[in-house]
Amino acid sequence: MHNNKPHLEKVSPGFGSSILVKKNSEMVKNNAPFWHFHPEIELVYVNKGQGKRHIGNHLSYFNNSQLLLLGANLPHNGFTDRLTVNGSETIVQFKPDFLGPSFFSIPEMAQIANLFEKAKKGILFKPETKKLVGPKIEDLLLLSGSERIIGLLEILNDLSLARDYTLLSVDGFAFETAPQDSAKIDMIYKHINDHFQQAISLEEIADKVSMTVPAFCRYFKKSTGKTFTQLVNEYRVVHATKLLYESQMSISDICYSCGFNNFSHFNKTFNEITGKSASRYRNEMTRIIQ
């Protein structure tokens, strides 16, 4: 069970569509929800239900309903562990540049661009905004063509003006990328995703995208704002947070199964990224769950 790594998810809107809107109304039977990330921004509205949110290294529970906005490349779990009777979850996914590379850079869109920036940490909206925006999200299913785009812009405008929200995840968890290189970045992430439990050398990853090591290092830093090692370590720590509350494994076993080959290096990195030690993280999670 504890091997379900965050997968890069390919999101495919229908033909002639730039945004994906889908509704789930069955209870999610699989109790190990899908741990994934994708370059699309994701808006999630659950009108009735309860379950667990796991976003980056944030874990909390919800009961009743929830409205979330998740930025690009933020690792997260599926949200509806248990939908209640008549409960449903509506998900909207779209690329940050779905209206063209500079649409959200125009002055009139500054507020929404700022919303996307905050969404990199995961935004949880409170009841007032949820009541206003939730039904509009469900209505997107009934709209098509330009009406659906206008409907989404109205929702984003409402969310950008909302004051009743909290940010969920600590800094540094969105795996940021420059959109123009998505095929290359997809390949790199897929390789990290498949091999983060072993050591990944710079030679092997550079070779994967047919670059020299120095060129790869420059490219990677420019695209993601991080060094390759930094990003892989972050990825390993996010996976460790998952194992710490979902499995009974010992902390040293978790360290090695996440690809760290040295326990003190694991502890130091875990602390730098989450702000606490692995054992304190596990104790706090256990308290939340009880």
Where do the CATH 2.60.120.280 domains begin and end in the chain?
Answer: 7-167
Quote the CA–CA distance of 34 and 224 in Å, as a whole number.
24
**DSSP 8-state symbol, 143:** -
Report whether 25 contacts 84 (CB < 8 A). no
Q: Average pLDDT, stretch 144-152?
A: 94
Residue 32 has a pLDDT of 44
Q: Report how far apart, in Å, the C-alpha atoms of 21 and of each of 31, 140, 274 are.
A: 23, 7, 33
Of 273, 204, 210, which Cα lies nearest the Cα of 236? 273
Q: 89-94 and 82-83 as β-strands: parallel, antiparallel, unpaired?
A: unpaired
Where do the CATH 1.10.10.60 domains begin and end in the chain?
Answer: 179-289
- The predicted-structure confidence for 253-264, as pLDDT tens digits, reads as follows 999 999 998 999
- The predicted-structure confidence for 109-129, as pLDDT tens digits, reads as follows 999 999 999 998 899 999 999
Residue, of 238 and 130, whose pLDDT is higher: 130
Distant-in-sequence, close-in-space partners of 281: CB < 8 Å, separation ≥ 6:
241, 244, 270, 274
Of how many residues is the chain composed? Answer: 290
What's the pTM value of the predicted model, to 2 decimals?
Answer: 0.64
Residue 165 has a pLDDT of 93
Report whether 196 contacts 236 (CB < 8 A). yes
Structure tokens at 3: 């091997």
Of 142, 143, 137, which Cα lies nearest the Cα of 68? 137
What is the percent of the chain with per-residue pLDDT over 70, rounded to a whole number?
Answer: 80
Residue 146 has a pLDDT of 92
Q: What is the mean pLDDT of the chain?
A: 82
HEC letters along 63-87: EEEEEEEECCCCCECCCCCEECCCC
Quote the CA–CA distance of 261 and 12 in Å, as a whole number.
37
CATH number among 3.40.190.10, 1.10.150.120, 2.60.120.280, 3.20.20.150, domain 7-167: 2.60.120.280
Q: Which CATH number does 179-289 carry?
A: 1.10.10.60
Of 194, 254, 265, 192, which Cα lies nearest the Cα of 224? 192
Backbone φ and ψ for 211, nearest 5 degrees, come out as -130, 160
Three-state DSSP class for 19? strand
The amino acid occupying position 48 is: K
- The predicted-structure confidence for 61-81, as pLDDT tens digits, reads as follows 777 888 999 988 787 776 656
Q: Would you give the distance in Å from CA 256 to the centre of its chain?
A: 24
